[in-house]
Amino acid sequence: SEDCVKINPDYIRSFLFESKLMPSTWIVIRIDGCHFHRFSDVHEFNKPNDKQALDLMNLCAVAVLEEFQDIIFSYGVSDEYSFVLKKNSQLYQRRASEIVSAIVSFFSSMYVMKWKDVFPMKELKYPPSFDGRAVCYPSAEILRDYLAWRQVDCHINNQYNTCFWSLVKSGKCKSEAQSCLKGTQAREKNELLLKEFGIDYNTLPLMFRQGSSVFRVKTEKTSILENSTSVGKAQTKIVTEYCNIIEQSFWEANPSILD
Ligand code: ATP
Ligand code: ATP
Ligand code: MG
Ligand code: MG
Ligand code: MG
Ligand code: MG
């Protein structure tokens, strides 16, 4: 009708800002729980490491890899997960906002859906949320440096938190525990754990010390005898491991990840 407002769609679209991620680079999407300090308090996570909460993060990561075929590797610690997309991924034409939002919302939904599987006796008190960001790494070497940085962070935080919570559980208040640890080196922290609490840091679960890696591995070709359509085709499965991803040996043992 006469009253109908005429809007030129090209004019409206001209305001759209599209941030396309650099071609031929490894895209890393890192998601991180929003205010999980509070979330872990409200849901009474074991300190310093709640194994079930980490299992839940890992289950969500596996689901993300199942959903997004372009993800070749992922690494998780605490309330964060880094997802690495293959170098030439064309997911959402490499538009950052779409990739980040699709992965972060899928992960958050999964976290809520799988909560009961991991915590059958624990009520989810409020909806958890995650933020996400995208960064491009232009070489395999730099990508490995990024992952090493996250794993070093895992180790340093875990060592600190293990000491901190041992002190707190032994009766110190949080500020006392904090000042006890101020300025201490790694070796001193390990000594404190051993002498004061009888904890040999190196015997703590690998998942706590090294974080979790979820990735695809090639499986054996299926047997000709099996009556399956996938006979002869290389297959992949998704695995969860608590391994050292800083060392060269991991990447030598899994050369197909960054090929
Ligand atoms: P922000 O919103 O800025 O990310 P945050 O409160 O989530 O704030 P982080 O630096 O991301 O802060 O740290 C996450 C916190 O969540 C940890 O410090 C820890 O207290 C808690 N947390 C996460 N996962 C676990 C777990 N599996 N077991 C125990 N505590 C956990
Ligand atoms: P994409 O992943 O690219 O967004 P899509 O399938 O979500 O694909 P959209 O263009 O976003 O496609 O359209 C959403 C579709 O969802 C609609 O075409 C319609 O079929 C369906 N849909 C969404 N909301 C409703 C609703 N309230 N009632 C019925 N159908 C709906
Ligand atoms: Mg954050
Ligand atoms: Mg957080
Ligand atoms: Mg965090
Ligand atoms: Mg869409």
What is the per-residue pLDDT across 20-72, written as a single tens digit (0 to 9) for each?
999 999 999 999 999 999 999 999 999 999 999 999 999 999 999 999 999 99
What is the per-residue pLDDT across 57-70, written as a single tens digit (0 to 9) for each?
999 999 999 999 99
CA dist 186 and 114 (Å) reads 36
Percent of the chain's residues with pLDDT above 90: 88
Q: What is the dihedral of CA 149, 155, 158, 163, to 10 degrees?
A: -130
Give the distance (Å) from ligand 5 centre to CA of residue 218.
31
Against a cut of 0.95, is the pTM above it?
no
Q: Which domains are seen in the chain, by residue range?
A: 17-253 (3.30.70.3000)
Give the distance (Å) from ligand 3 centre to CA of residue 105.
15
Q: Which residues pair with 26 in a beta bridge?
A: 137
Q: Which of 177, 213, 176 is nearest to 81 (CA)?
A: 213
Residue nearest to atom 25 of ligand 1 (CA): 78
8 Å CB contact between 64 and 74:
yes
Q: Is the pLDDT of residue 207 over 70?
A: yes
Residue nearest to atom 4 of ligand 1 (CA): 34
| 36 CA: nearest ligand 1 atom | 7
| 78 CA: nearest ligand 1 atom | 24
Q: Is the pLDDT of residue 112 over 70?
A: yes
* Ligand 1 pocket, residues with Cβ under 6 angstroms: 32-37, 40, 45, 47, 49-50, 53-54, 78-79
Q: How far is CA 35 from the centre of its chain?
A: 16
